[in-house]
Amino acid sequence: MIKIDKKMEYSLLVLDCLYRDREKKYSAKEVSQKYNIAFDSVSRVMQKLAKHNFLISEQGPTGGYKLKDDLNNISILSLITAISGPLTIAKCLKGNSCIQASNCNIKTPIELLNDKLASFYSEISIAELFQL
């Protein structure tokens, strides 16, 4: 089954929080307290979102994080890629060798499914996901 991990959950929480109050800058501490999530986890996610240009980070006493772009312009696939790396639904697609590799009859169908999912995720914006 395809699942999203905690980093993706926290990323979506952060993006939703910053979107709903676009005029305010949020610190990782504020977000972690608002959603009762460990500060370290939120901080790492927000830093990664800023590194990949989803957020703007402003330093100083009045600093914090803000959205860089409209959530209509950010696809789920771009978020997945930024937070978790390339979309891969099976370990063998990551280049990991598999003991069944020489006898595998499903690698091509798995690759096709992975490509179709990537295409599907690239067509859904975060705003659409949140129904904003």
pLDDT, tens digit (0-9, with 9 covering 90-100), for 19-30: 988 889 999 999
Helix axes 39-51, 76-84, angle to 10 degrees: 110
Report the first-to-last Cα separation within the chain, whole angstroms. Answer: 27
Q: Which helix (H) or strand (E) holds 57?
A: strand 55-58
Q: What is the mean pLDDT of the chain?
A: 90
Which residue is associated with the tokens 């789920």? 76
pTM of the model: 0.85
d(CA 36, CA 3) in angstroms, rounded, equals 22
Residue 45: what pLDDT? 97
pLDDT higher than 70, residue 132? no
- Taking residues 15-19, what's their average pLDDT? 94
CA 96 to chain centre: 23
pLDDT higher than 80, residue 97? no
**DSSP-assigned beta bridge partners for residue 57:** 65
Please report, for the chain, the start and end positions of each structural domain, with discontinuous segments joined by +.
6-130
Structure letter (DSSP) for residue 58? E
pLDDT confidence band for 62 (50 / 70 / 90): confident
H, E, C per residue of 63-113: CEEEECCCHHHCEHHHHHHHHHCCCCCCHHHHCCCCCCHHHCCCHHHHHHH
Residue 107: what pLDDT? 81
pLDDT higher than 80, residue 100? no
User: 3-state class of 56 per DSSP?
Assistant: strand
- Taking residues 80-92, what's their average pLDDT? 88
Q: What residues have CB less than 8 Å from 21, skipping those under 6 apart?
A: none
Q: Which CATH class, in words, describes the domain spanning 6-130?
A: mainly alpha
